[in-house]
Structure 1
Amino acid sequence: MIDRRGRIAGRRTAGVLLAGLLLASACAAPGDDGAAPDSTAGDVRAVLDRRAAAVLHHDTDAYLAAVDPRAAGLRTAQRRELDNLADVPLSSWTYLLTGVREQGTDRVTADVRLRYRIKGYDAAPASVDRVLDLRRDRADGRWYIVGDRAATDGGGLLWQQGAVRVVRGRHSLVLGVGRTQEELRRIAGTADRAVPAVSGAWPRPWAGRVLVLVPHTVEDMAGLLGSPGANYRGIAAVTTGRTGGPDRAPADRVIVNPQAYGMLAALGQRVVLTHEITHVATRTSTSAATATWLSEGFADWVAYRAEGRTAVQAAPELAAAVRRGELPAELPTDEDFGFTGDSARLAKAYEGGWLACGLIADHWGEEKLLAFYRAVGGHAGRDGAVEQAMQEVLATTPQDFTARWRESLRSRLG
C-alpha cells in the first residue's frame, strides 16, 4: 500500500497558488503619483534590455555592468546566480517594466516582470515579479542596480538556490539544485514512464513532455511557490501553471519535494508524477468551471489506470469510513481539498473524486469520461457546469449520479 502521507502529497496541485503570480496585473505606470519621468523609465528599460541579452549570451561582464560597482555583496550574488544558470537551456529571457517610482534624488524603485522560457518545454513564458532598486551615478549619468528582490507574495527562482543540474530524459527535462545526478536521473526515468501513460489515457493534443524542478529542501520548494514551508511538508509534488484554452498556453512545472517524494516506494512515485503530469496534459481543458473533485479525481484515475490497485488499496481512508457506516452524502466539495492539516478529510476527498471518475469510466465508458471533463471545463462558469455536462454527456442528473456513486462506494469499499 502506498504510504498515506506521500499518497496525499502527490495529489495536491499548485495551479491556484501561482495563478496570481502568472497573471498579475501591471504595477504603477508613469503618470501615477510618485512615478518617475518617462525619460527615467526609458533609461531603466535600456538597462534591463542589456541585462536580458547578457543572460542569454551568458556574458558575465555585461550582466554585472548593470550592478552598482560599490555593491560588492550584490555583485557576488548576481555573479553566482548567472553561474547557476549555466546549464539551463533558455530560449528567451526578457524584463517587462511595469512601474518606476522615484525614491528621492537619483534613486528609483522599479517593478519588473521577468519572463523566460525553457527551450523545448515552455509553450509560453513563465513569469515572476521582481522589485529592483536603482541609483543614478552623477559622474557618468548611468543607472545601476543596487537591490534585487522578489515582489510581495512572489515566488523565487531555482537558480537563486544554487547551481542547477540538468538531466534530459526521453519525455522530460529535470532541473535540480542540491540533488545528485543519479537522483535526478531516477526522477527523469519515472517521468518518462508517466508521460506515455498520460498520453494513453488523454488522447488529446498536448506537448507530450514535462519540465520537473527538484529543489534541495521543502523550504526551497515553498520558496519557489512564494508560500510558507509548512504548507508543503507532506506534499510530494505540485504542478504550477495557469488554466485556460489554447490561446492561453501554460508554462507548467512539476515541482518535487525531495523529502516527501523520497519516502515513497516506486509505485507511489509513479502515481505522484503521473497524477501531476495529467494536470499538465489537461491544462487547456481545465478552467475555473472545473470542479476540484473532477480535476483531481481524473488525475488519480489516470495515475492508477495501469497500476492494478483495488479500490480498497487505493482508497484506504474512504474504505475505513464506509466500513464504519460513514458513507458520504455528497461528492467532495472544493473546500474538502483544502490543506488544513486534516489529512483524513483530504485523503477521502481525493479518493472520492477518483472513485467518481472511475464510476463514469466503468458505467458510461472512458470516452464519455473524457468528453465530460472537456464539457465541464468548457462551460462559461462554475455555476451549472457539472449539471449541464452530466445532462448533455451522461444523460443523467447530479442527484442520480450521486446516488450511483454512493452505491459504488458501498459495493467496492464495504
Structure 2
Amino acid sequence: MTIPQQQRPPEELTPAAYGEGLPSPWYPSLQLPPPRRSYLWPLLCALLVLSAAVAVAGGVATAAALRGGGRAPTAATWVEVDAKAIDLVLQRRTEAVQRKDAEEWMADVDQRDPAFTKRQRQEFDNLTKLPFAQLEFERIPQSVVKMAAFLPPGAFEQYHAAVRVVPVTVRHRIDGVDSRPVATPWLAVFAFTGHKWVIAGDGAGKDLPTGEAGQPWDAAGPIAVVRNARVTAVISADTGPADGGQGLLELATTGLEQVAAVKPGGWDGKVLLTAVADRRIFDTYFAESQDRVAQVAAIAVPYYSAVVEWANRPAYATTRIVFNPSELSAAKGELQHDLTHEFTHAAMGPVTGPYTPRWVVEGFAEYVAYRDGHFAAAGIRQALGDLAITAFPDDKQFYEEPRNYVAGWLACRMIAEQYGQDKLVAFYEAFLRLSEVDSVAREVLGVTRAQLEQQWRDYVDAQRRG
C-alpha cells in the first residue's frame, strides 16, 4: 500500500513562524486510506492455498522458485511442510504469552542466531506488558512462491529446502480499547531443524503487508504501558518521558474530549497510541519513501478484521495511532494538535470509505483540532500564501501540496458555519454510500458541487480579508 506523503515547507514556513493558534501550512500527520472495495480487490492476493503437506515432487519445484530459478535440491533433501506442526507452534506462542512463560516461548525458536534470539526474547517481554483481552496467532494459507519473496538473505542457504515464510495473522484485542478483534500481519520464517519446525526469523523485503514490524511489541527495546479509562499509550521503558508518560496521557485525554464534542458516538471512544523511541516502528509505514519519514509527526493506521493484503473485503476494526519518535519533544500545543487530529481519524474510521475525498478526511480532522480557535486574517493569508482556491483538491495531488490541509480545513469550517456542525458530519458520512462530491452535496446540503465550491471560494476570500 502506498502511503501518501507531505513535503516539508521552507524553514520560514514552519509552524513556529505563525505564532500561537494560527494554522500552519504544514500539518505533519496523515491517515492511511482504506482499501478500495472492488471485485478485483485485493489484486495482490493470488489466493493460492498452501496444502497441509506439500508433496516431495511439488517441494522440489517450490525449492527452485525459492532460489529464484537456481538448481533445486534433490528430493532426498526435501522436508515436507507440516501445517499441523506449525499450527501447534503458533498455539504454544499464545499460551506462552498468557502464562508469561519465556522458556516455552523460546523452545520453538532457533537460537543459533544471537541477534534474532535477542529480538525474540524482547518481543516476548513486550507482549507480556500489553493488556490483551484476546491474543492468537493464526496461519493464513497463501502462495508459497509469493511468500518466498520475503525470505531474508541467507535463509535458503542456511536451511536449504526446509524453510518457508508463513503468513500469520496476530488477532488481538486490547483490554479497555478494542470492541472487536484486530488483525495485524506477521511474516514468520519457519525452518525444519533438529527434527522439528522452529521459528528461524522474520520476513523481509519490499511490499510487506501494512503493519508488519510496526506493532508496539516489535520495539527493539523494552516498552512500558501507561493508561487511563480511554487511552492506552505504549512508550519506551528506558527512554520514555521523564513523567512516565502522564503528560502524554493528559494531552491524549483532552484530544479525545475535543473529538467527542464533535463525534460523540459511532466509535469506541478509546485509542491505542504507540510512541516508542525505536524508529523502525514508525519507519515501516514508509518503506517506499524513507526520505520523507522525518516530514510526518504521526500516522493513523486503520486495521480490519483480517489483514487487508490477505483477505477480500475485511470489516473495519479500529485505527491505531503511531507517533514519529522525533516529534515527541515538540511543544505542548503542537502535540495537542497532532493528537486531536489523529484521534479524529480514529473516530471517523468506521465511516471513512474508499471514496471519501482526502480534503474531507484531513480537513475534518483539522476542523476538530482547531474548532475552538480564533484566527486573524493575516495568519490565514500567510498560511495560504499564493495557493489558488478554485476546485476542491484532487486526491492524487493532495499530499504534494501541504497547504491543501489549510484549504480542506477552511472548506469544512465553512460547511459547519453555514450549514451546521451536524451537517458537516453527515456530509462526511455520506461518502460511504455515494462516490461523488456533487451527489453528497445535493443530498446533504441541497446544493451542487459547483455551488459548494463557489461558497468555499467566497468564504476563503472573506477569511483572507478579515
Q: Percent identity?
A: 24
Equivalent residue of 1:355, what SS? helix
Provide the aligned length of Structure 1 versus Structure 2: 392
CA RMSD of aligned residues (A): 3.3
Residue in structure 2 matching 1:249, options 316, 321, 324? 316
Q: Give how far 1:56 is off.
A: 2.5
1:327-371 C-alpha deviation (Å, 9 max, x unpaired): 422111113322x5xxxx21x200110111111111111111111
Matched, 1:29 2:71: no
Q: Distance in 1 between matches of 2:129 and 2:26?
A: 30
Q: Which residue of 1 aligns with 2:176?
A: 120
Q: Which residue of 2 aligns with 1:165?
A: 224
2:398–2:404: 8 Å Cα contact kept in structure 1?
yes
Matched, 1:189 2:189: no
Q: Distance in 2 between matches of 1:243 and 1:350?
A: 27
2:173–2:181: 8 Å Cα contact kept in structure 1?
yes
- For normalisation by structure 2, the TM-score amounts to 0.75
Gaps of 5+ in 1: none
Shifted more, 400-409 versus 230-239: the winner is: 230-239
Structure 2 counterparts to residues 9-408 of structure 1, below 5 A? 10=27, 12-16=29-33, 25=45, 28-31=48-51, 34=59, 40-68=82-110, 70-97=112-139, 98-99=141-142, 101=144, 107-115=162-170, 116-122=172-178, 123-137=180-194, 141-150=195-204, 152-154=206-208, 155-156=212-213, 157-160=215-218, 161-177=220-236, 178-182=239-243, 184-216=245-277, 218=279, 220-223=281-284, 226=287, 228-242=289-303, 248-263=315-330, 265-310=331-376, 312-313=378-379, 316-318=382-384, 320-321=385-386, 327-338=388-399, 340=400, 345-346=401-402, 348-379=403-434, 382=435, 385-408=436-459
Higher helix share: 1
Q: Distance in 2 between matches of 1:230 and 1:219?
A: 14
Residues 194 and 73 of structure 1: CA distance in aligned 2, closer, same or farther (over 3 Å): closer
- For normalisation by structure 1, the TM-score amounts to 0.83
Q: Give how far 1:284 is off.
A: 0.8
Residues 144 and 220 of structure 1: CA distance in aligned 2, closer, same or farther (over 3 Å): closer
Q: Give how far 1:236 is off.
A: 1.5
Residues 391 and 17 of structure 1: CA distance in aligned 2, closer, same or farther (over 3 Å): closer
1:125-177 C-alpha deviation (Å, 9 max, x unpaired): 1402313131142xxx4222222334643331333321111111342111012
Q: Give how far 1:214 is off.
A: 0.6
1:173-225 C-alpha deviation (Å, 9 max, x unpaired): 11012323526222211110011110111133211111110121555421366
Q: Distance in 1 between matches of 2:81 and 2:297?
A: 48
1:213–1:255: 8 Å Cα contact kept in structure 2?
yes
Residues 77 and 376 of structure 1: CA distance in aligned 2, closer, same or farther (over 3 Å): closer
Q: Distance in 1 between matches of 2:87 and 2:447?
A: 57
Shifted more, 229-238 versus 349-358: the winner is: 229-238
Equivalent residue of 1:306, what SS? coil
Q: Give how far 1:67 is off.
A: 1.3
